[in-house]
Amino acid sequence: MEKPKYDVYISSSWKQRERVGALACGLIAHGVSVYDFTNPACRDSPEIPPEKFPQQFDPEIHSYREYINKPEWRAAVECNRRALDACKVVILLLPCGNDAHADWAYAVGRGAYTIVVGHPNKDERTPSHLWCDSFIERDEEAIGHVALYLLANDDVARAQREREEAIVSARDRWGTAELAVTGIDREHGGK
């Protein structure tokens, strides 16, 4: 199966589906590709909102291994992992539960740029949120932050900036006459 390519993975709760969708739309409007787990077009497996499996785990009734080992859940988490492996930025949209935190922590471990947006519910805290690269209070602020981060860290843009900086440095050191001989300076407005 071909690996999907996304700039951003939004990790949150199904209870936040409206916020996830709005954040995804805002990012897409800024040219950012987004893995939105609530959007069936992003998934290669059926969605599994909590209402699809309403019976909660109960150790008095279930073996956890048997309870959790459902093909639908395995397909969903593997779909999410493929998207996480392909993304550059992971947004943890709070408040959310264990699954969203697990996805976010996986991204932290693989070195993705991670952002925690919002705040947990009253009387909750998660010190591992300190692993994130950035805290952002409001969803709208995350859109501009992500767009700027991706622009600043785009490989093509970075290579172009480094090349231009090298030419300016060489021009400062050697002067434009020597660079013009090689033709390098003409590409960048030299005479």
Q: What is the pLDDT averaged over residues 146-152?
A: 90
Q: Are 80 and 143 found together in one domain?
A: yes
Higher model confidence: residue 161 or residue 183?
A: 161
For residue 120, the tally of other CB atoms under 10 A from its CB is: 13
**126 and 183 fall within a common domain:** no
Per the CB < 8 A criterion, the answer to whether 6 and 35 are in contact is: yes
Q: Which range has the top average pLDDT, 2-6, 29-33, 135-139?
A: 135-139
162/138 same-domain check? no
pLDDT of residue 191: 44
Least confident of 22-31, 110-119, 139-148, 174-183: 174-183
User: Is there a single domain that holds both residue 146 and residue 172?
Assistant: no
- Provide the pLDDT for residue 46: 76
* Tokens, residue 109: 């471990």
From the number of C-beta atoms within 10 Å of its C-beta (0-12, 13-18, 19+), residue 184 rates as middle
Both 148 and 168 in a single domain?
no
Residues 101 and 172 in one domain: no
Are 121 and 184 members of one domain?
A: no
Q: Are residues 23 and 57 in the same domain?
A: yes
3-class DSSP state for residue 120? coil
pLDDT at residue 185, rounded to an integer: 45
More confident residue, 20 or 166: 20
Residue 22 lies in a domain: yes
Q: Please check whether residues 113 and 168 belong to one and the same domain.
A: no
Indicate whether 1 belongs to any domain. Answer: no
| CATH number of the domain within which 90 lies | 3.40.50
Report pLDDT for 190: 47
Res 161: pLDDT: 62
DSSP classification of residue 133: S
143 and 49, same structural domain? yes
Q: Classify residue 108: in a domain, yes or no.
A: yes
Distances (CA, A) of 13 to 19, 48, 70, 92: 10, 11, 19, 10
In a domain? residue 2 = no
Say how many Å lie between the first and final Cα of the chain, rounded. Answer: 51
Lowest-confidence segment of 50-54, 75-79, 154-158 by average pLDDT: 154-158
Count of domains for the chain: 2
Asked if residue 160 and residue 84 are part of one domain, the reply reads no
- Note the pTM of the prediction, 2 decimals: 0.77
Average pLDDT over residues 74-79: 90
Is 143 a member of any domain?
A: yes
The residue range of the domain holding 181 is 156-188
Domain co-membership, 96 together with 148: yes
pLDDT band (50, 70, 90) for residue 101:
very high
* pLDDT value for 70: 87
* Residue located via tokens 């033709």: 183
Of 129 and 161, which is predicted with more confidence? 129
| pLDDT greater than 80 at residue 175 | no
Provide the 3-class DSSP secondary structure of residue 122: coil
